[in-house]
Structure 1
């Protein structure tokens, strides 16, 4: 049985992971990290990784982006494999993940959904063929409690498309005004926030007289937890390095 340290254990995704891991005989949560501890926790909860005393095989992180740098340093010091599923990471934190990967196995994805990452493969196959004649727009929808916009997934999709284009497009976040050029070299990225939408992403390729749409809808948060668990299973057997969902799906 693999021993898991769950970072962000009291958050929404932390609770989802606790529920799913309870039904997975190959995993056991031995400790958690969160800003606050609760008396009814089923495992020890610490406010910092430095205080964790348990033996750990892998760390799964669904916390707040501001907490990730400390977690990275702690995992390097303890030589624990780290799965980072937290979104909104700064450029500096992403650089820390790259540095840490020289010492420990690190798995990072802006979206842990297997479906989203299969979608990326499809977009990268389609985009080069459509680049010369189609505008590309991305619309993302999330619940009204989501703090960051655009979503990390929308940026992940945009970056993945741009990687395949002869001339990468400039990102336009939203669109407003009375005299817009709607430059062909721009990729519009638009955010919708409302209700309890878990997550919906649509990529539109719009050409003359034809439109092609790729869409992914998350019906629950379980898909992200399941992806993180698959990432943890994969990472435990890897040597030091930086891994992503594309490595898992290869």
Structure 2
């Protein structure tokens, strides 16, 4: 039987990536966790969409939870995640920052109380090396805004159509603007605007350490959980 005082062992997919290194540094400062690339109690994948199938298969074969932080996933990737969640505990988190996930809740709450005459614009900025745009976090915030209105981005209803073009939009359209430059770890601002007033809800990440800390919180949450698809909101609720 496993000693409950032992640290939770983490196997990192892409340990030499930016997030892999950040998580390794966070683990070195937290005695509750340890790295074990071969016998992890939880697998953490912040790699690339093409690697997802292999990571999920590894988690299922070892019967251990997996945290997926990979962005730019397509519908077939989400189907893979949902299928894996029938066998092992899974969290897919486009952003593991606890602050960003609290922002997600605030955006959903705000849009649930505001009418369709409020325009929604999402501005995000990241370092010059980030490939995907809009960012996975920006899309997550857009989904939260659409959910607050009682629909989903995927439905592409008249009030929740995504636009990436800076032209006049139909009322209620969710627009995205992406900036790339320097070493910005991540900045997101959700702008809710109507005639005569504007609300701005935002989050600024000064270091990848915040994502690593959130990832460890997610790992701690997943360990010992039954199979299922969980979210960072579940992690926050359990803190």
Do Structure 1 and Structure 2 share a fold, with TM-score over 0.5?
yes
Cα offsets for 1:126-153 (capped at 9, x unmatched):
1122223311111111111000001000
Q: Please point out which of 121, 129, 132 is paired with 1:148.
A: 132
What residue is the counterpart of 1:245 in the other structure? 232
Is it true that 1:183 corresponds to 2:174 in the alignment?
Answer: no
- Displacement, 1:166? 4.3
Q: Across the two proteins, how many residue pairs are aligned to each other?
A: 224
SS in structure 1 opposite 2:121?
strand
CA distance in 2, matches of 1:30, 1:136: 44
Q: Please point out which of 13, 19, 24 is paired with 2:19.
A: 13
Larger Rg, first or second structure (1 or 2): 1
- For structure 2, the 5+ residue unaligned runs are 1-6, 152-158
- Displacement, 1:55? 2.6
Is it true that 1:29 corresponds to 2:31 in the alignment?
Answer: no
Is it true that 1:136 corresponds to 2:120 in the alignment?
Answer: yes
Is it true that 1:165 corresponds to 2:171 in the alignment?
Answer: no
CA distance in 2, matches of 1:236, 1:104: 11
SS in structure 1 opposite 2:36?
strand
SS in structure 2 opposite 1:116?
helix
Label 1:166 to 1:24 Cα distance change in 2 as closer, same or farther (>3 A): closer
CA distance in 1, matches of 2:39, 2:25: 21
- Displacement, 1:5? 0.5
CA distance in 2, matches of 1:225, 1:68: 19
Q: Please point out which of 79, 97, 107 is paired with 1:123.
A: 107
CA distance in 2, matches of 1:110, 1:125: 20
Tell me which stretches of 4 or more aligned residues in structure 1 moved more than 3 Å. Answer: none
Report the RMSD for the aligned CA atoms in angstroms: 1.3
CA distance in 1, matches of 2:116, 2:50: 40
Question: TM-score, normalized by length of structure 1?
Answer: 0.86
Is it true that 1:233 corresponds to 2:220 in the alignment?
Answer: yes
**Cα pair 1:127 1:165 within 8 Å, conserved:** yes
CA distance in 1, matches of 2:43, 2:169: 44
- Displacement, 1:80? 1.5
CA distance in 1, matches of 2:112, 2:24: 41
**Cα pair 1:60 1:82 within 8 Å, conserved:** yes
- Displacement, 1:75? 1.1
Cα offsets for 1:168-224 (capped at 9, x unmatched):
51000132xxxx442113111110111111110000011111111001100100111
CA distance in 1, matches of 2:172, 2:39: 52
